[in-house]
Amino acid sequence: MTNAGRREFKLPEADEDFLARLSLSWETVSQAQRRWLIIYGFPMPTGFTVAIADLAIEILAGYPPGPLDMAYFFPALHRSDGKPIPTTQVTEIISGRSWQRWSRHRTPECPWVPGDDCLETHVDLIRTFLDREPKR
């Protein structure tokens, strides 16, 4: 896939390099004074009813060095075993679609470290909580 799409704001060079290594289409979107990174075709681990979904991450004011938080998915993710996924009931309209918000946050044991953490480490955290969910 190419990196074609809207570029309504620029990400740090290291983040764009990371996105190039993912080899997935992505775009940046500004909407109602909020900024979003959308990554298309993000692979899901086994245990969900879809194999791929689009991933949105809000690029919060102050990033970097400030933190990134949570993840949003389209279509909404569901476990293959039918068990509910906690704290995913809120939706957000992003670029005209209803996205499922996963309210997952850093903890005191795993804090955001300015200068070390970035988009790549946030995506690693997202992969970790996605991998864990079907095993809960």
For 34-60, the pLDDT digits (tens) are 999 999 999 999 999 999 999 999 999
With respect to residue 8, please indicate whether it lies within any of the assigned structural domains: no
Range of the domain at 28: 13-135
Cβ–Cβ under 8 Å, residues 41 and 24: yes
Would 91 be classed as within a structural domain?
A: yes
Taking only the tens place, the pLDDT of each residue in 66-75 is: 999 999 999 9
pTM for the structure as a whole: 0.94
Q: Is residue 4 part of a domain?
A: no
Contacts of 103 (CB under 8 A, 6+ apart): 70, 87, 88, 90
Report the number of distinct structural domains present in the chain.
1
